[in-house]
C-alpha cells in the first residue's frame, strides 16, 4: 500500500518521565507495523510529557492494534485520538463570502435596493452585461449524481459532496474561479440534462464530475448541444489531458517517438475512451483498446480505434495505458522489454512501477504521478475568459502540450500547486480559441498572481 493511502491518526499521549517510556512506545508502534510521523510536544512537567504523535496504518484493524499496544505501554496513557482529515472537513471546506463589507445604509442601498435596480435594467437591455456586472463571469457549476465517486463507485450524490468541495477549493485557489457544487438526486439521463440546462444561466461553464460511463458521454454531448457555454466532464478530458502530458515526457525520457509508437489503452471507461480520442487526434494513428464491455469496444471503433484484448495489447504495444480500476491486472510476465507503462488506477494500480520496471519496462508510473488537478483549473479558466461556446479537442491538446513543456528535468509533470502552470494552461487555451475563431470575448485579461 502506498503512503498516500494509509490511514492517518493523531494520538495525544501522556508519558511518565521514566527512562525508556517514549522509546518503548515508538518500538511498540513499529512492531505492530505502524509508521510514526510528526511528534509534537504539547506540555511538559517534572512528572509527565504530553505529545501529539502522528501514526499511519494500513487499515482499521491494524490501527486498532497499534492503539491497543500504545495503551498497554508502561507509563503511557492515550488522552485523545483525532482524525485530522475529518476535522479538516468539519462544516465543509468552502463558503460564499461577500466581496464588500456592508456596514452602513449607503453601501446597502448601492449593493441592494434601490441601486441594484439600475444594474438589473441594464442587463435586461443587454444580457451580455451580466458578464461584467454579476458573478456569472467566474461561476462554474460542479455537477454530480454520485454514481462514480473517485474509486468508490456509486455512493450517491451527498457522499460525493466532499469531492465537489475539494474541486471548488482548487478552482478558487489556483485560478480564481468560483466553483458551486450541485448535487443531483437523480441518475436519469433526461432529468440530468434538463436540470443542468435549466440552471445553466447562472454559470460561465459546467463541469461534470464523477458521473458513471457510459451515461457521462451522452450527458456531456447533449448538454453541449443545448448550451452556449463550455461543458467539460473532468473524468474524461481532464484525465486525458494530464495523461497525454505525462506520456509526452515519458516518451522523451525513454527516447520513444509517440507518433510512431503502437499505443494500447486498457479500460475504455470515461478516462480511457477520452484518452484514446485525444491520442488519435494527437498522433493521427489508431489506438488499440481493451475492455470487458462490447459496447465500450464499439464506441472505440466508432472513433477510429481498434478493439483488442489485454493479451494482444501487452504483446504488441510500445506504450500501455491502463485505467481499469483492477489492481494487479497486468502481470509482470506480460511486460515486454522497453515498454512504457502508465498504470493509472487509484488507489492500487494494475501493476506497480517497481514491478513493471523489474520486468523490463523502460518507463513506468502509476496514478499518483498523473493528477487531473493539473488540467481542469487552467482549462476552465481559459475557456471562461475566452467565452468559448465549447472546448475543442485542439484546446485540450494545447493544454496537454503546455503541461508537458513545463515539467523540469526528470519530472513526468510539473507541480500541480504551481499557479504559474495553471496560468500558462489558461493562456494556451485562450490562444488556441483565438486561432480557431471560438473566442467570443472582446478583451481577455490573463490571470495573474
Check: CB of residue 207 under 8 Å from CB of residue 237.
no
Q: Is 98 part of any domain?
A: no
Residues 442 and 397 in one domain: yes
Q: Select which of 112, 128, 331, 446 is catalytic.
A: 112
* Residue 361 DSSP code: -
- Mind giving me the DSSP string for 378-431? HHHHHHHHHT-SS--HHHHHHHHHHHHHT--TT-SS--TT-HHHHHHHHHHHHH
pLDDT at residue number 446 = 57
Of the residues 184, 211, 229, the one at which a domain ends: 229
Of the residues 187, 209, 229, the one at which a domain ends: 229
- Residue 22's alpha-carbon distances to 15, 27, 34, 75, 379, in angstroms, are 7, 9, 15, 9, 50
Residues 292 and 429 in one domain: yes
Q: Is 54 part of any domain?
A: yes
394 a catalytic residue: no
Residues 419 and 367 in one domain: yes
pLDDT at residue number 345 = 84
CA pair distance 325, 235, nearest whole angstrom: 14
- Among 55, 51, 53, smallest CA distance to 7 is for 55
- Would you state the cell numbers that stand for residue 163, as one nine-digit string? 469531492
- Would you state the cell numbers that stand for residue 208, as one nine-digit string? 461534470
* Residue 14 DSSP code: E
112 a catalytic residue: yes
- Among 163, 174, 157, smallest CA distance to 376 is for 174
Question: 10 Å Cβ neighbour count for 249?
Answer: 21
| Residue tagged 525513454 (cell numbers) | 254
- Would you state the cell numbers that stand for residue 420, as one nine-digit string? 504559474
How high is the mean pLDDT in each 10-residue block of the chain (449 residues)?
Answer: 71 93 94 93 92 92 94 94 84 84 89 90 94 94 93 90 95 96 97 98 96 94 97 94 94 92 95 94 94 95 96 96 92 95 87 94 88 93 96 96 92 92 96 95 63
Residues 281 and 424 in one domain: yes
pLDDT at residue number 178 = 96
Residues 278 and 388 in one domain: yes
For the chain, report the end-to-end CA distance as a whole number of angstroms: 37
Q: Which domain holds residue 180?
A: 105-229
Q: Select which of 93, 128, 167, 277 is catalytic.
A: 167
Residues 285 and 331 in one domain: yes
Residues 225 and 242 in one domain: no
Residues 343 and 446 in one domain: yes
- Residue 316's alpha-carbon distances to 69, 248, 256, 313, 433, in angstroms, are 52, 20, 15, 5, 37
Check: CB of residue 288 under 8 Å from CB of residue 265.
yes
Q: What is the CATH number of the domain that holds 18?
A: 3.30.70.260
Q: Is 94 part of any domain?
A: no
Give, in degrees to the nearest 5, the angle at Cα 188 between 202 and 391: 45
Tell me the three state secondary structure of residue 173. helix
Q: What is the CATH number of the domain that holds 448?
A: 3.40.50.720
- Among 269, 267, 287, smallest CA distance to 277 is for 287
Q: Is 49 part of any domain?
A: yes
- Among 205, 198, 126, 117, smallest CA distance to 167 is for 205
pLDDT at residue number 367 = 84
Q: Is 404 part of any domain?
A: yes
pLDDT at residue number 55 = 93
pLDDT at residue number 131 = 92
Residues 77 and 115 in one domain: no
CA pair distance 199, 177, nearest whole angstrom: 18
Of the residues 176, 198, 229, the one at which a domain ends: 229
Q: What is the CATH number of the domain that holds 204?
A: 3.40.50.10380
Check: CB of residue 70 under 8 Å from CB of residue 29.
yes
pLDDT at residue number 153 = 86
Check: CB of residue 128 under 8 Å from CB of residue 141.
no
- Count up the domains in the chain and report the number: 3
Amino acid at each position: 500500500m502506498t503512503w498516500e493511502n494509509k490511514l492517518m491518526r493523531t494520538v495525544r499521549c501522556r508519558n511518565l518521565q521514566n527512562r525508556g517510556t517514549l522509546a518503548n512506545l515508538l518500538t511498540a508502534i513499529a512492531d505492530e507495523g505502524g509508521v510514526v510521523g510528526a511528534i509534537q510536544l504539547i506540555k511538559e512537567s517534572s512528572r509527565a510529557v504530553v505529545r501529539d504523535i502522528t501514526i499511519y496504518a494500513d487499515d482499521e484493524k491494524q490501527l486498532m492494534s497499534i492503539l491497543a499496544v500504545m495503551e498497554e505501554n508502561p507509563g503511557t496513557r492515550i488522552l485523545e485520538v483525532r482524525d485530522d482529515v475529518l476535522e479538516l472537513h468539519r462544516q465543509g471546506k468552502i463558503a460564499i463570502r461577500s466581496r464588500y463589507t456592508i456596514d452602513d445604509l449607503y453601501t446597502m442601498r448601492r449593493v441592494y435596493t434601490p441601486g441594484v435596480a439600475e444594474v438589473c435594467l441594464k442587463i435586461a437591455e443587454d444580457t451580455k452585461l451580466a458578464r461584467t456586472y454579476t458573478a456569472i463571469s467566474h461561476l462554474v457549476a460542479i455537477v454530480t449524481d454520485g454514481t462514480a465517486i473517485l474509486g468508490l463507485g456509486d455512493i450517491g450524490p451527498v457522499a460525493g459532496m466532499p469531492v465537489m468541495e475539494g474541486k471548488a477549493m482548487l478552482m478558487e485557489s489556483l485560478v480564481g474561479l468560483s466553483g458551486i457544487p450541485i448535487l443531483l438526486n437523480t441518475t436519469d439521463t433526461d432529468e440530468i440534462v434538463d436540470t443542468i440546462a435549466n440552471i445553466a444561466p447562472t454559470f460561465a461553464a459546467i463541469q461534470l464530475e464523477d458521473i458513471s460511463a457510459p451515461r457521462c458521454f451522452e450527458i456531456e454531448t447533449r448538454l453541449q448541444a443545448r448550451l452556449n457555454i463550455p461543458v467539460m466532464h473532468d473524468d474524461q478530458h481532464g484525465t486525458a489531458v494530464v495523461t497525454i502530458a505525462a506520456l509526452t515526457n515519458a516518451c522523451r525520457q525513454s527516447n520513444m517517438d509517440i507518433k510512431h509508437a503502437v499505443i494500447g489503452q486498457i479500460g475504455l471507461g470515461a478516462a480511457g475512451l477520452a484518452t484514446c480520442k485525444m491520442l488519435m487526434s494527437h498522433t493521427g494513428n489508431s489506438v488499440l483498446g481493451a475492455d470487458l464491455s462490447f459496447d465500450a469496444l464499439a464506441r472505440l471503433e466508432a472513433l477510429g480505434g481498434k478493439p483488442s484484448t489485454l493479451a494482444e495489447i501487452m504483446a504488441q504495444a510500445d506504450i500501455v495505458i491502463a485505467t481499469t480500476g483492477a489492481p494487479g491486472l497486468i502481470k509482470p510476465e506480460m511486460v515486454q522489454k522497453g515498454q512504457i507503462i502508465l498504470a493509472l488506477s487509484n488507489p492500487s494500480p494494475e501493476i506497480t512501477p517497481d514491478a513493471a520496471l523489474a520486468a523490463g519496462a523502460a518507463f513506468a508510473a502509476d496514478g499518483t504521478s498523473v493528477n487531473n488537478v493539473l488540467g481542469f483549473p487552467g482549462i476552465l479558466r481559459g475557456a471562461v475568459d475566452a467565452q468559448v461556446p465549447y472546448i475543442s479537442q485542439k484546446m485540450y491538446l494545447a493544454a496537454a502540450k503546455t503541461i508537458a513543456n513545463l515539467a523540469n528535468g526528470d519530472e513526468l509533470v510539473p507541480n500541480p500547486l504551481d499557479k504559474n502552470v495553471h496560468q500558462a494552461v489558461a493562456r494556451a487555451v485562450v490562444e488556441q480559441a483565438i486561432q480557431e475563431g471560438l473566442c467570443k470575448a472582446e478583451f481577455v485579461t490573463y490571470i495573474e498572481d
